[in-house]
């Protein structure tokens, strides 16, 4: 199970706990690419802290895959057509 799903399940089981609120703020900060105070992570119990680290690792991995997909889209849209045009035979002249 991925960390995002684990965090959601944790928050649903413990909606009023301080740990759930911290995990929610962490997820929001990641989504909005905002700063997040490390002191809040250190205040978590061990299970929630491990879950926070897992969330950050998964988030980073997802960003890596997203960046790879964007690169592939750029290559397919811009580089491949350019290469195909370079390899095409010159148009026949009509004399």
Nearest to 52 by CA among 1, 94, 10: 10
Distance CA 70, CA 36 (A): 26
The residue written with tokens 């960046």 in the block is: 67
**pLDDT of amino acid 3:** 86
pLDDT interval class at 60 (50, 70, 90)? confident
Length of the chain: 95
Percent of the chain beyond pLDDT 90? 44
Distance CA 41, CA 58 (A): 16
Which pTM was predicted? 0.68
**Phi-psi region at 33: left, alpha or beta (left = phi > 0; alpha = psi -120 to 50):** left
Look at residue 93 and tell me whether its pLDDT is greater than 80. no
**pLDDT of amino acid 94:** 61
* pLDDT average, residue stretch 29-42: 92
């Amino acid at each position: 199970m991925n960390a995002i799903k684990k965090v959601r399940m944790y928050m649903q089981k413990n909606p009023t706990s301080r740990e759930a609120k911290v995990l929610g703020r962490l997820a929001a900060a990641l989504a909005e690419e905002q700063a997040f105070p490390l002191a809040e992570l250190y205040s978590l119990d061990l299970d929630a802290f491990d879950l926070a680290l897992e969330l950050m690792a998964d988030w980073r991995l997802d960003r890596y895959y997203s960046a790879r997909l964007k690169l592939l889209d750029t290559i397919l849209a811009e580089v491949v057509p350019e290469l195909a045009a370079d390899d095409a035979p010159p148009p026949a002249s009509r004399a």
